[in-house]
Structure 1
């Protein structure tokens, strides 16, 4: 059983934006203690950016005495080019109770499958650099 892990600070949303070939990628990272909380976080991003083309997401939720819940969504991007790379980046941090949404405004230039994988992964990597974290320990 995992007794100590890092997660985002509660009630804070880390936001970061990059531009790649005229497409805007806005990354939002926050804490989600449950699958319902993660879905609420994703829904809030959709409401905040209703005119965006894509709202791709990934989350990992800690579950006591069980494997973590891991989910991702490409939200209309070609299969495996957005959600999966985002999930792999957050898995690499070892963090749990984390939800990430990358909002994309299409800039008119197609990036191709490989370009999308790099763009979504880089968007999350860069945002993680400014994420405030806390350590949760079982006492």
Structure 2
């Protein structure tokens, strides 16, 4: 059984449905539960759950930012040109406007975070298996 498999049952917030809307921007299976989607508020909030080995593509937030509040499991965050950061519950990541990055689960663990996002995402190339397998 994969480490932290209880994450898939939504420990704090509901796991949500399979993330079909953004599936073309992920390697592996993710799940999304929108927590706040209010047109009067210039920020979206969602609970994103990653199966082991799942990660999103490299991407940039234009005219905004992204905050990640890790709520469970083990995962990775990496900005272009920098070493990957290992993440566990309680970690917080701030991604500033225009910074190319990716995030996702460790190979052997489910991973979950609350994403607080403003601006427009620009989705880029997939994180290759070679890039992913070389994170330390």
Class of the TM-score when normalised by the shorter of the 2 chains: under 0.3
TM-score (normalised: structure 2): 0.24
Higher relative contact order (Cα pairs below 8 Å, separated by 6+ residues) = 1
TM-score (normalised: structure 1): 0.24
Structure richer in strand, relative to its length? 2
Structure richer in helix, relative to its length? 1
